[in-house]
A and B are shown apart, each in its own frame.
Chain A
């Protein structure tokens, strides 16, 4: 008897739809907040705190909707209400509060904490090791986040529950706020099936990603094979070394001999006589190099100037060091 009065649990497409609608409205909240702050505090404040502003607007938006007990605009649009894990009761207020906080501020705080932690790590280690270890750690942190979110998304596409990780943690499920007739039920089911395909694709993707790692594990368990691998690697790397040294000697040779000097009239005949001097050193150009605006100087001259100020000395267009092109 009680089952009859239970609300139908929401399907994945309507949750995605409500989330999209919410994001749309959230972005307009961010814009308005930024506008207000620009008027009060100035553009530079908004620019330097854009991250914090977007978090604040998310907190504001959720506080006035979810926390207050009203549906967000997206939820209203698709007629969704929060229920607990089993779908038998509404969600307690403290859980909603925890969700709002973790959803909006959580990623920010965890990132801050992580950077602090890795900083302290680099401080305590000696310099050489520190760079390596922190580099590894940051990659693994990012990878871990990626893994977790992709697994979470996969679960969502299959089961149709908990689109956000913090909702999964605190058990905020969606239910449809009205009774469904037969037609609507059929329609919704079809839609969720197409989302399941997405889930399969994600599964395949993550599987193919983990294949190399799996094969590595297999190799470590088979010591013989590993030895062979090592031998192969050694021969390969020694070959590589040879090539490297060859490349190096080649490079040094280049450095010794090949300066392009415009004092030699046979070089770059297309540059007319009156343009062969560098306006910075006033001598004939050595290694002519073009700024993005097309003005040509010696390589050394323009690079030295770009260190001073990244703009073309002639026309003051921006000219970053990395955009200077050596003419060859």
Chain B
């Protein structure tokens, strides 16, 4: 099931990516012979400190996909966000959890969901405690400021 579906998804992604041009700038397998490892680039949503930046995602698909969720991470030390572990790029998103994943979702919907997460951080399940604490006391300007600081200085890391 996995291989056939991935081939189909590859076709669908190629066809539909044009509809999401201002969200996803690329979504493709790293090597077109191996459909289990993908890379994606998403653009920062407008009205957030991420706007104007682009972020790389690595997507790994286990042989159990689509019965098990894909494993998606940001690049390490690149993504300041309250639901993303800064050191590893690990993402805390409920639909990527084994217990909440549904096989009707596909790579495109997963990337769109991660894009959505950028503008809607969830303080209940933080992976970046510091940022989440700031957000919890509703100090949005500090939150945005800190993120901007990280993003603009990321070339140092």
Contact = CB atoms under 8 A, between A and B. Distances in A.
A308 B65 CA distance: 11
A313 B8 contact: no
A313 B103 contact: yes
A142 interface: no
Interface in B93-134: 99, 102-104, 106
A110 B99 CA distance: 41
Contacts of A280: 1, 5, 66, 103-104
Contacts, number: 35
Interface in B53-107: 66-68, 99, 102-104, 106
Given A300-B1, A301-B1, A304-B1, A279 B67 contact: no
B9 interface: yes
Given A301-B1, A308-B67, A282 B9 contact: yes
B105 to A, nearest CB: 9
B12 A313 contact: no
B4 A313 contact: no
Interface in A271-290: 279-283
A239 B53 CA distance: 79
Contacts of B99: 309
Interface string B1-43: 1001100110010000000000000000000000000000000
B8 A282 contact: yes
A314 B109 CA distance: 14
B65 to A, nearest CB: 11
A316 B94 CA distance: 15
Contacts of A308: 67-68
A305 B67 CA distance: 6
The listed residue with most B CB atoms (<10 A of its CB), out of A282, A301, A313, A316, is A282
Contact of A283 (B8, B66, B68, B104): B8
Interface residues of B, number: 14
How many chain A residues sit at the interface, stated as a range, is 10 to 19
A305 B8 contact: no
Contacts of A305: 67, 103
Contacts of B103: 279-280, 301, 305, 313
Contact of A281 (B1, B12, B102): B1
Interface in A189-231: none
A300 B99 CA distance: 21
Nearest to B99: A309
B67 A281 contact: no
A300 B67 CA distance: 12
B1 A279 contact: no
A42 to B, nearest CB: 22
Interface of A: 279-283, 300-301, 304-305, 308-309, 313-314, 316
Given A283-B8, A313-B103, 20 more contacts: A279-B104, A280-B1, A280-B5, A280-B103, A280-B104, A281-B1, A281-B4, A281-B5, A282-B5, A282-B12, A282-B106, A301-B1, A301-B103, A304-B1, A304-B67, A308-B68, A309-B99, A313-B102, A314-B102, A316-B102
Closest 10 CB pairs of A and B: A282-B8, A313-B102, A313-B104, A308-B67, A279-B104, A313-B103, A281-B5, A280-B103, A282-B5, A281-B1
12 contacts: A279-B103, A280-B103, A280-B104, A281-B1, A281-B8, A282-B9, A282-B106, A283-B8, A308-B67, A309-B99, A313-B102, A314-B102
